Structure 1
Amino acid sequence: MLHFLAKIVCLIFFLFVYCEFLIYYFVLLGCSWPQLSKIDQDFSVRAPNDPYRKPLHVMFIADTHLLGSREGHWLDKLRREWQMYRSFQSARFLFEPHVIFFLGDLTDEGKWCSDHEWEKTVRRFNSLFSVPTSTKLYALAGNHDIGFHYDVSDGRLERFEKSFQAPHVRLITIDDDDINFILVNSMAFEGDQCRLCARAEKELNEIVNELHRSGLATKPVFLSHFPLYRASDANCSLWRQPSLSQSTRHKERYDVLSREASDNLLKKIKPRLVFTAHTHDFCYTEHTDIKGKVIPEWTVPSFSWRNRDDPSFMLLSITTNNERVSHCRLPRESTVFWSYGIGAFLLIFYILFGGRRPLGWFAFCFLRKRIKL
């Protein structure tokens, strides 16, 4: 009997380990860093100084929405944060990215919470998404972190900037690779000449002028929480079956940046690639500059089960004159539930009918004795 119970305990333990640990590695092994093609490289741009140097590996994560005290039940918070912790640490272990960008909405209630709760949430973020010193991590502000444009306060803005070293506009240059990233605060580009927008516009102009003065031939990668203007997701290149939400029209300054702000940013920055977030869904779309050159934009889906059953993230391999992007899926929450359900069914079946003397046999003997009494 003890041997049989030991088997049951081992099977339960294996089911738990598979659903809470191993499944993340099994799913992520289906993804890899995209391989660059020599045919696709931009021959008008200077190639890397070292032709044998590996490309810069960049990971993009969006909309983690760490729950707060208002809308997050403790069990919901525990489940979602464990999923993101295992997803992130498993992906970081397997892929070893050089740089990781979080594209806004790191928190769910940053626009409401007190300074004390904000500090606790930031500590949780740093614990869940901890990285070694060899990996660089950067974050953008989202509307859930500081509020929409009309609701941004100096206090919330300053505490986000202090916690994540994230000014309105930031230029990040990977020196060894000569690759530039421009990060912007989406809420600061309403174009209404408010104090927030005026400061952001000034910072952007300074960065653009700095890039021009440096004489770098490589165009920057542009990162924003809000997507650039598009009427809807109807024309997105999708990776799953289209849904009704794809045909819903986007509201400017709420779902996407305004058309004027988008045109202004594209005209000034002249990016080679764009990565955005906010919609919680995947979208690949293309913009064109004044010379007719295509500028690809990827909208990165949410990383959390709370926002979608099938979270994901994106990987970028990039050099000075070449780049390629891959989309990496994480385990579905429904798949984990089904795994637990099927595992529990098989376990019960084994308890009742498996082994030389299963539990059903002991129950039969017990009932027979009771009937005789």
Structure 2
Amino acid sequence: MLHFLTKILFLTLLIFIYCEFIIYYFVLLGCSWSQLSKLDQDFTISSPKDPSKKPLHVMLIADTHLLSSYEGHWFNKLRRDWQMYRSFQSAIFLFEPHIIFFLGDLTNTGQWYSDKEWNKTIQRFHSLFSVSSNIRLYVLAGNHDIGFHFDVTDKNLKRFEQTFQTPHVRLLTIDDDNIHFVLINSIAFEGDQCRLCERADHELNTIINELSQTDILTKPVLLSHFPLYRSSDANCSRQSLTTLKSTSQYPTHKERYDVLSQEATKHLLTTIKPRLVFTAHTHRYCYTEHNNKDGKIIPEWTVPSFSWQNRDDPSFMLLSITTNNQRVSHCYLPRETTIFWSYAIGGFLLTFYILFGGRRPFYLVACCFLRKMFKI
């Protein structure tokens, strides 16, 4: 009897370990850093001085929406935190990125948090998404962190900037690779001449001057929480349309709420002249393209939410980039429904094992069940 109970405990532990640890590695192993192709190379820009130098590896994550201590059930919050922690740490172990960008909405309702609640949530953020000292981590502001443009307070803005050392516009240059990233607080690009927007315009002009004075012709990568203007997601790539039956089911985007305004989008594209753009906010994947005044195509990827609170199939992006080449990978995390069915199937088989004790009837029923499930 003791031997039988030991087996049951061991099998239960195996099911738990698979569903809470191993499945994350299994799913993430289906993704990898994309190999660069000469077909995508920009020959107007000189190649890296050292041809053997590996590309810069960048991970992009969006909309984690960490719940506060008073939001939702405690188990739901614990579950979401564990899922993101396990996914993130598994991804760091497998992919070893050089830089990680969080594209805003770290918190769920951070604009309404007290200072005490804010500090507690940020401590959780650093605990869940802890990295080694050789990995750089940068954060953008989202509307759930500081509020939309119409309700941003000086206190919330200052609190976020002091927490993550983030100005409205920031130029990040990787000196060894001569690769530029421009990080913007998209909530400050309303164009209504408020002090928020005036400061953002001033910082943007300063960075544009810096870029124009550099000897490197590399165009920057633009990072924003709000997507650039698009009327809806109907024209996104086919991959982003799989969740809906027709493009007519996509609602029209509201400027300055769902996406940046047309004026702000045009201003950013013509002044920064980015080589590619990464955005967030919608919680859905989207690949779209913009044309600048020179007629060149600027690709934009909208990164889906990283939280199961918002999606059954959260995901993130991997960017391999050099001075004149880049490739993007879209990496999925385990579906929550997959984890649920893994527990259900494991529990089903374990129940039959308990009932039949490993005898032949259990073997026959289990085989029949698996054949029907997987159509063997």
TM-score clears 0.5: yes
Rounded Cα–Cα distance in structure 1 between residues aligned with 2:360 and 2:237: 57
Partner residue of 1:335? 338
**Aligned: 1:282 with 2:288:** no
RMSD: 1.4
Where structure 2 has 5 or more consecutive residues not aligned to the other structure, the ranges are 363-376
Shift of 1:357: 11
Aligned to 2:196, what secondary structure does the other structure show?
helix
Please identify the structure whose Cα radius of gyration is greater.
1
Q: Map 1:207-218 onto structure 2 (within 5 A).
A: 207-218=207-218
Rounded Cα–Cα distance in structure 1 between residues aligned with 2:214 and 2:325: 21
Per-residue Cα deviation, 1:130-187 (whole angstroms, up to 9, x for no partner) = 0001000000000000000001001110111111111100110011000000000011
User: Any conservation in 2 of the 1:238–1:282 contact (CA below 8 Å)?
Assistant: no
Q: Equivalent of 1:311, from 314, 331, 335?
A: 314
Aligned to 2:173, what secondary structure does the other structure show?
strand
User: Any conservation in 2 of the 1:65–1:107 contact (CA below 8 Å)?
Assistant: yes
Shift of 1:71: 2.6
Q: 1:193 to 1:117 in 2, by over 3 A?
A: same
User: Any conservation in 2 of the 1:352–1:358 contact (CA below 8 Å)?
Assistant: no
Rounded Cα–Cα distance in structure 2 between residues aligned with 1:111 and 1:86: 27
Runs of 4+ in 1 over 6 A off after TM superposition: none
Shift of 1:356: 5.6
TM-score normalised according to structure 1 size? 0.94
TM-score normalised according to structure 2 size? 0.93
Partner residue of 1:29? 29
Partner residue of 2:328? 325
Letter of the 2:219 counterpart: K
Letter of the 1:347 counterpart: L
Partner residue of 1:354? 357
Rounded Cα–Cα distance in structure 1 between residues aligned with 2:88 and 2:352: 35
Aligned residues: 359
Partner residue of 2:173? 173
Aligned to 1:297, what secondary structure does the other structure show?
strand
Partner residue of 1:251? 254
Greater alpha carbon shift after TM alignment, 327-336 vs 72-81: 72-81
Per-residue Cα deviation, 1:208-242 (whole angstroms, up to 9, x for no partner) = 10110113200000000000000000010032514
Greater alpha carbon shift after TM alignment, 66-75 vs 155-164: 66-75
Partner residue of 1:111? 111
Rounded Cα–Cα distance in structure 2 between residues aligned with 1:251 and 1:83: 32
Partner residue of 2:365? none
| Identity between Structure 1 and Structure 2 (%) | 72
Q: Equivalent of 1:268, from 268, 271, 275?
A: 271
Partner residue of 2:220? 220
Q: Map 1:115-126 onto structure 2 (within 5 A).
A: 115-126=115-126
Letter of the 1:209 counterpart: N
Aligned to 2:238, what secondary structure does the other structure show?
coil
Rounded Cα–Cα distance in structure 2 between residues aligned with 1:194 and 1:290: 28
Partner residue of 1:155? 155
**Aligned: 1:100 with 2:100:** yes
Per-residue Cα deviation, 1:242-282 (whole angstroms, up to 9, x for no partner) = 42685210000000000111001111100000000000000
Partner residue of 2:56? 56
Rounded Cα–Cα distance in structure 2 between residues aligned with 1:140 and 1:7: 49
Greater alpha carbon shift after TM alignment, 61-70 vs 252-261: 61-70
User: Any conservation in 2 of the 1:182–1:220 contact (CA below 8 Å)?
Assistant: yes
